[in-house]
Structure 1
């Protein structure tokens, strides 16, 4: 049954259902082009790879290029490095489907967006990286990946001053992840309480923040990237379900926003939402509040109900100060004011109309361009919605 859009303080500018062949993941926008990774066969019957869209006219987006993944490869996470380079993960599909897959990340030249060109590949062990991050200002990249001597995914920090020749600076995990020999290879679909880096890790000042799925949230002294040290750590699984996804500071304030990713097979009435963590005492981070949209409205709709990711920028100043844009699967995109960290308050939302032939909306990820337009990605077939926040 089709349902119309639900909107408060958002305006739809454009829509391209072809983004990531309908089912998308991470989106990056640069110089009038959007790059959208595809979820492929992960709770969607789509292609593996990514698509490129000309969004210079946001009211008339159009696909201009695509890249199909080789057999056995999931490549749904991508990041722009500088102006002309795109990194895309190469993660083995689960089980027999991923046997023999080359894992690591692709390097593409995107100086001509309509004719993307593969210019390199960086090999990594295990099943390959998941949601990685790039800090262009510091010329660093952070990859969640397996490593000898560690159990499950840990932080690979890489120097990308020469983006065609990334170099490992350090490999770091929680003390509990230390292992002998090769450790335990990663499960591409870990259980909710598994301790494994999700990401992306990020740096503010001399501190790194990272979410470890069922393993909690870590505050790390990264003043020496080659000798990082754990400063503080907290976890809430159990009793909560787990799957800590993203940990991101609120501007320059001593608080973190943390999301727990909703799971594909079961929705939880009292778990997997957004948290605020007080880090005034870094050695003792404490959760002080939670937030979720109206459960009575969305919980019983099809698909996942729960948090996923945020726009990875909560600025210290400007019109979006203390504003969190969070994707919430069947509850669409929400805008949350966290100026009072003890009482987060919703100030806007956008749930796209359910297109013909699609059961429900599953808003998966969110990106932004230099003009402040937002790019909302659906993983169940609706593609990409280009939005303006009017609040």
Structure 2
């Protein structure tokens, strides 16, 4: 029995670190899915995705790496049943024009990269058979013209939903994907905010310095709850998957700083938890919050509260990003709760909240991992500070969280 000493968390309350992995020497992580005892981890710097055997969460073991095509990002992925869907997009952070994060977050991506001649990357979605969990076998590819796909929602069945930057649009829009034959996926429908379809003669009517782009949508029944960064929140009726229709659109930026990232429906309570991502260092993009919306009347979503913010120290001046990044998304087969919500808070780690009373969310646990041992993020001037990125909670309640540089933290919730 080998015991590995774990990095000592900077802070913890009602949570304890039980395992850690450097993901086979590629400790940069973005989205993580835990499926049948294996963690699939998309990378920000290492072009490709990693597999970590977490059947014993206290002793995670690297179990493989699948390289992306040259010049291509695999930041996000989704696993369900025997399928793993992996995004393919241009590796934007490898482009010197995005060395300053502000360029990425404060203007349309197409504006920065227009005029790029050859396409030295793969754009679309790759589909793998993971019936052997540590031996993904590519069986299908949805190719798109443009920058590619940012994020996917897929929880089995015929339909997947992606944010894609395709030629003719200013930034990422909503696409429905038909997987009736996973070997031959097809785009079925699309929806965008008015002003984004540049090839159709639309022109943006949003303020300079704002980025209107779909981060991703979460689907519940026939409704897509979509987050558009500085463009706010839309509820879309997708009964007809080929023709999504707008139900409602809300945007609170300005006065708030935008960055709407995740909208998590809690259908049994007719609530929606909406998270705005902090995207610039030292809160330069303003205070970012996690909101609770009442969506009993889908045509009129109403914000009823915000989550408390970490306050055991001054995180704004700690460096890097302070503020929310992502939520555990209650995927089928994972931990599902409409009262206990898990979020990542970047330099303030992983947080748990009880929203039994939706008007008064309470923090019930936290763990701030140790600073990364080394930096994978090669953009100039990035501080060596933990940036807890994604969080996934398995059916047993074990928490898995990635970091851009610091590897996989495996955490037990004690609340």
Instruction: Note whether the superposition's TM-score is higher than 0.5.
Output: yes
Query: Following superposition of structure 1 onto structure 2, how do residues 124-163 of structure 1 map, counting pairs within 5 Å?
Result: 124-136=144-156, 138-147=157-166, 150-163=169-182
Of the structure 1 ranges 270-279 and 49-58, higher mean CA displacement relative to structure 2 is found in: 270-279
Matching residue of 2:43: 38
Matching residue of 2:55: 56
CA gap of 1:314–1:126, structure 2 versus 1, over 3 A, is closer
Q: RMSD of aligned C-alpha atoms?
A: 2.7
Q: Check whether the contact 2:257–2:286 (CA below 8 A) recurs between aligned residues.
A: no
Query: Where do 5+ consecutive residues of structure 1 fail to align?
Result: 41-46, 185-190
Query: Following superposition of structure 1 onto structure 2, how do residues 34-183 of structure 1 map, counting pairs within 5 Å?
Result: 34-40=39-45, 47-83=46-82, 85-94=83-92, 95=95, 99-100=118-119, 101-136=121-156, 138-147=157-166, 150-181=169-200
Q: Deviations over 1:146-190 (max 9, x none)?
A: 346644221111122332222222111234434444879xxxxxx
Query: Following superposition of structure 1 onto structure 2, how do residues 341-360 of structure 1 map, counting pairs within 5 Å?
Result: 341-357=358-374, 359-360=384-385
CA gap of 1:373–1:19, structure 2 versus 1, over 3 A, is farther
Matching residue of 1:240: 256
CA gap of 1:338–1:196, structure 2 versus 1, over 3 A, is same
Report the TM-score when normalising by structure 2. Answer: 0.82
Matching residue of 2:407: 383
Query: Following superposition of structure 1 onto structure 2, how do residues 311-322 of structure 1 map, counting pairs within 5 Å?
Result: 311-313=328-330, 320-322=337-339
Counting matched residue pairs gives 373
CA gap of 1:239–1:20, structure 2 versus 1, over 3 A, is farther
SS in 2 for 1:262: coil
Instruction: Name which of 11, 15, 32 aligns with 2:16.
Output: 11
CA distance in 1 between partners of 2:71 and 2:340 (Å): 39
Instruction: Name which of 324, 337, 341 aligns with 1:307.
Output: 324
Query: Following superposition of structure 1 onto structure 2, how do residues 152-301 of structure 1 map, counting pairs within 5 Å?
Result: 152-181=171-200, 193-199=210-216, 201-268=217-284, 270-291=286-307, 292-294=309-311, 296-301=313-318
CA gap of 1:96–1:293, structure 2 versus 1, over 3 A, is closer
CA gap of 1:11–1:105, structure 2 versus 1, over 3 A, is same
Q: Check whether the contact 2:139–2:182 (CA below 8 A) recurs between aligned residues.
A: no
Q: Deviations over 1:340-379 (max 9, x none)?
A: 2222110111111235456321100011333332111111
Report the TM-score when normalising by structure 1. Answer: 0.87
CA gap of 1:179–1:22, structure 2 versus 1, over 3 A, is same
